[in-house]
Amino acid sequence: MAKFNVDSLFGVDVDFAYFNAIEIVAKLGLLKEVLGNKRVKGLMAQHGRKHRIVSIAARQVLLDYLKPVLDGKFMPFDEYYVDDALHTGRDQRYEAEEKFLFLMLSIARGKSVTGLKRLGERTSTREARAFYGKGLSLYKYLRQELNDHTRDYIQRYKERQSGVVPEQETQQAPADSNTTSTPTPRKSKPVVKKPTNNEPTPFAKEVATALALQAQASQLIAEQAQLATTGTPVDLDAFKTLCARLIDSYRRNPHALMCVRHIQNSDDYIAEHSFACAVLSCSLAHALKLDDRYVGAVTLGGLLFDIGRFRLPKPLTHKAGKLSDAEFSLMRKHLQFGESLLRYNQSMPKVVYQMIWDHHEREDGAGYPNGKVGSEISAYGKIGAIVDAYDAMTSEQTFKAPLTPTQAQEKLKAESGLAFDTNVLNAFLSHLGSVPVGSCVELSNGRLGFVLTLNARQQPSLVRQVYSLTNKSYIVATDVAIDKVAGTRIQQVVLPADYNLRFIDHIA
């Protein structure tokens, strides 16, 4: 087998704006070696050259072929290198290596070279160049990256080939590159339906479970974030088990979790915000009618997309007032911190990373870290952006009072199509209802109360009465089902602060 010559890439344009594995293979001049592989040829004969499984197999074969080069020595990282400069001598070799390494990262991660460079961290080749000196295998690292990014699809492909999963269900898998459209609803039922614990339960009973879940989630994420800083992989099974229990609770009575997610202690804000985002992500996934697999992945992503904030200094995360430019720059690093905390876990779903990197992107390009616009943002990032903003608006923090749910809805509507995807936002707002859980309302009987549950039409049902307007005094909390009791209706939504009321004091 002839050794690939990295120098052949000097002067070659490799800045692909989209990801296509076969085009990268062609750019490297290795079409014969890769497409001539027996396994790749067999898959092409079965599915055609453009099928995703062919692309994945070609990526695997390419990395295998280039193993001797990948595990060889590269020049040390040069932080002053400029890739659009005119290079001579030693810099020509460095340029060729830089292009080669970016192509290999593109193959492993399923992202375009342009997309990788837009991450803003030219140090993305620093780590790759250091493997040889540390006695480590760059080939094994990239092969593991490729496996992590394609494992779920390969599993579904194998199940489909064996007849376990219907054809149309596997077509919903995320593409090699970032997913950019809203995930499609499930079109077929699984062959085997797993038993669930989703029998409807009354609000009063389910809220106790929801409170316990919140406490467990806050403790788990704080402990795991601390452990991850030592290089210990996070306990993915524990997170998945928690999310499965959360989803079961939501399906038994969604309003219990939607109430409890309001309870946040500003000292433990990051952990409780993470739990709240998991609840809201679960709710939005149901609103979008996603397949069960995606409900679980999106819920997990909601729980973990802000885990990097645990690495930030507490004075920064608790600061009242506007951040300085330097402070904001540090705050933005929670995305990189989040990925670094999770990178030791080889089985972390790709959806989680998409939600980490994209939940601060905005439709009009005004977000960070990459200033993506519209369809460049992954569907899961669009979900993360909405739930993150809504929970931040409606949560009590050290530096601000919470907005009411209806106030937060109006702010989100004002940003529809600008900051947030219109279709995803409409699904979210519709599922919340026009008077969401947690809203303070004036009733026709002269009392104020908080909305605890909604009916099937997403209209207020159970309201907890806590204040008498007639006597201008607090009353013993009593619940009334306004959609079932004649003569009691909502007059208007009011600001609880005007009456010194807080929803979180009247949930349990």
What is the C-alpha to C-alpha distance for residues 165 and 92, in angstroms, rounded to an integer?
Answer: 50
What is the C-alpha to C-alpha distance for residues 274 and 406, in angstroms, rounded to an integer?
Answer: 22
* Number of domains observed in the structure of the chain: 3
DSSP per-residue string spanning 461-481:
-EEEEEEETTTTEEEEEEEEE
pLDDT at 14: 85
pLDDT at 173 over 60: no
Q: What is the mean pLDDT of residues 312-339?
A: 87
pLDDT at 60 over 90: yes
pLDDT at 185: 42
Q: Is the CA virtual torsion 54, 56, 59, 60 positive or negative?
A: negative
Q: What is the mean pLDDT of residues 435-462?
A: 96
What is the C-alpha to C-alpha distance for residues 327 and 505, in angstroms, rounded to an integer?
Answer: 34
pLDDT band at 197 (very low <50, low <70, confident <90, very high): low
Cβ 459 vs Cβ 481: under 8 Å: no
| Residue 29, phi-psi category: left (phi > 0), alpha (psi -120 to 50), beta (remainder) | left
Least confident of 262-266, 426-430, 481-485: 262-266
pLDDT at 195: 42
What is the C-alpha to C-alpha distance for residues 149 and 152, in angstroms, rounded to an integer?
Answer: 8
pLDDT at 319: 79
pLDDT at 256: 96
pLDDT at 483: 92
What is the C-alpha to C-alpha distance for residues 303 and 350, in angstroms, rounded to an integer?
Answer: 14
Cβ 374 vs Cβ 382: under 8 Å: no
Domain identity same for 445 and 345:
no
What is the C-alpha to C-alpha distance for residues 207 and 215, in angstroms, rounded to an integer?
Answer: 12
pLDDT at 227 over 90: no
Pairing of strands 440-443, 447-451: antiparallel
Domain identity same for 257 and 119:
no
What are 450's strand-pairing partners? 440, 464
Cβ 466 vs Cβ 450: under 8 Å: yes
pLDDT at 194: 42
pLDDT band at 180 (very low <50, low <70, confident <90, very high): very low
pLDDT band at 121 (very low <50, low <70, confident <90, very high): very low
pLDDT at 110 over 50: yes
Residue numbers of the domain that contains 476? 440-506
* Average pLDDT score, the chain: 86
pLDDT band at 24 (very low <50, low <70, confident <90, very high): very high
pLDDT at 364: 94
pLDDT at 112: 79
pLDDT at 44 over 80: yes
Domain identity same for 247 and 106:
no
Instruction: List the structure tokens of 104.
Output: 């290999």
Instruction: List the structure tokens of 278.
Output: 């998991």
Q: b vs e for 420-441, b when ≥16 Cβ sit within 10 Å of the residue's Cβ?
A: bbeebbebbbebbbebbbbbbb
Domain identity same for 418 and 444:
no
Cβ 271 vs Cβ 221: under 8 Å: yes
pLDDT at 177 over 70: no
pLDDT at 322: 81
Domain identity same for 33 and 79:
yes
Residue 491's contacts (CB-CB under 8 Å, 6 or more residues apart) are 441, 442, 443, 444
Cβ 463 vs Cβ 479: under 8 Å: yes
pLDDT at 179: 40
> What's CA 346's distance to the chain center, in Å?
17
In tens, the pLDDT along 409-444 reads 999 999 999 999 999 999 999 999 999 999 999 999
- Residue 371: give its domain's CATH number: 1.10.3210.10
Least confident of 12-16, 50-54, 142-146, 359-363: 12-16
Q: What is the mean pLDDT of residues 111-120?
A: 70
What is the C-alpha to C-alpha distance for residues 382 and 377, in angstroms, rounded to an integer?
Answer: 7
Domain identity same for 362 and 423:
yes
Residue 159 in domain: no
Identify the helix (H) or strand (E) that includes residue 442. strand 440-443
Residue 248 in domain: yes
Sheet holding 447-451, edge to edge: 473-481, 462-468, 447-451, 440-443, 490-493
Residue 160 in domain: no
pLDDT at 353 over 70: yes
CA distances from 168 to 50, 181, 186 (A): 18, 17, 9
Which has more pLDDT, 102 or 231? 102
What are 364's strand-pairing partners? 373
In a 3-state reduction of DSSP, which class is residue 2?
coil
pLDDT at 399: 66
pLDDT at 283: 97
Least confident of 110-124, 128-142, 478-492: 110-124
Residue 344 in domain: yes
CA distances from 136 to 60, 94, 221, 487, 501 (A): 19, 21, 31, 74, 59
pLDDT at 455: 95
Residue finishing a domain among 383, 398, 432: 432
Least confident of 96-110, 152-166, 275-289: 152-166
Residue 19, amino acid: F
Q: How far apart are the first and last CA of the chain?
A: 70
pLDDT at 184 over 60: no
Which has more pLDDT, 268 or 87? 268
Domain identity same for 447 and 421:
no
pLDDT at 20 over 90: no
Q: What is the mean pLDDT of residues 145-153?
A: 82
Domain identity same for 296 and 313:
yes
Give percent of the chain above pLDDT 70: 88
Q: Is the CA virtual torsion 290, 295, 298, 303 positive or negative?
A: positive
Domain identity same for 122 and 213:
no
Residue 486 in domain: yes
Give percent of the chain above pLDDT 90: 58
pLDDT at 320: 75
Q: What is the mean pLDDT of residues 460-466?
A: 96
pLDDT at 75 over 80: yes
Domain identity same for 409 and 459:
no
Q: What is the mean pLDDT of residues 403-411?
A: 95
Domain identity same for 32 and 125:
yes
SS3 breakdown of the chain: % helix, strand, coil, rounded to 5? 55, 5, 40
Domain identity same for 28 and 56:
yes
Q: What is the mean pLDDT of residues 301-306?
A: 97
Q: Is the CA virtual torsion 476, 481, 485, 486 positive or negative?
A: positive
Residue 194 in domain: no
In tens, the pLDDT along 1-18 reads 457 899 898 888 888 777
CA distances from 388 to 207, 412, 448 (A): 23, 11, 29
Residue 252: exposure state from Cβ atoms within 10 A (0-12, 13-18, ≥19): buried
pLDDT at 321: 77
